[in-house]
Amino acid sequence: MSTNVAAHNIQGRHASDNYRLHLHRARSVVLTSAELVEIRAAQRTFEGAYVRTAIGQFSFALVVLKIFTAEFYSIGALFAVYGAGILFISLFRRQQGNKQFFSEVGEDGLHRKKFRTSGNVVTVLTALSVSAYICLLVLTLKLAT
């Protein structure tokens, strides 16, 4: 078991040597213009959406903190933390997305196509959003008392 962990750690540090596209190492890949368009579109769509959402959350937190009274500060802080969480999730999405485009060379030397969906990112974002909504509900109910 310890050899599998050590092999996984080595693979994680030198991932650009293990992932290949068009039989080239990941760090030396020359992409076609169609592939570049595809990658740029994915980056614009996903990374831009996460950053815009985080900026929106930060802006709303700032509005709550500046305009409302001190009893609403916890709600403003919640939105600020939620925005920071979305920024971290965008970094996680970028890290996961970098692994989607390459095939992997197995231990037996065979090339295997590797495609992973964004299920991990969706799960983390869902957990963050549900917990933020629960906290918002609790904080709103505390305002009534």
Each residue of 88-102: pLDDT tens digit? 998 888 777 666 666
Each residue of 45-81: pLDDT tens digit? 777 888 899 999 999 999 998 998 888 899 999 999 9
pTM score of the predicted model: 0.65
Angle 48-54-136 (CA atoms, 0-180°, nearest 5)? 145
In this structure, the chain runs to a length of: 145
Each residue of 13-55: pLDDT tens digit? 555 555 555 554 555 566 677 777 777 777 777 778 888 999 9
The answer to whether the beta carbons of residues 47 and 94 sit under 8 Å apart is yes
Residue 100: name the closest of 39, 44, 11 by CA. Answer: 39
Q: How far apart are CA 11 and CA 19, in angstroms?
A: 10
Residue 40: name the closest of 28, 48, 52 by CA. Answer: 48
Domain spans in the chain, listed from the N-terminal domain onward? 2-144
Q: How far apart are CA 110 and CA 122, in angstroms?
A: 31
Give the pLDDT confidence score for residue 14 in this predicted structure: 57
Tell me the pLDDT of the chain averaged across its residues: 77
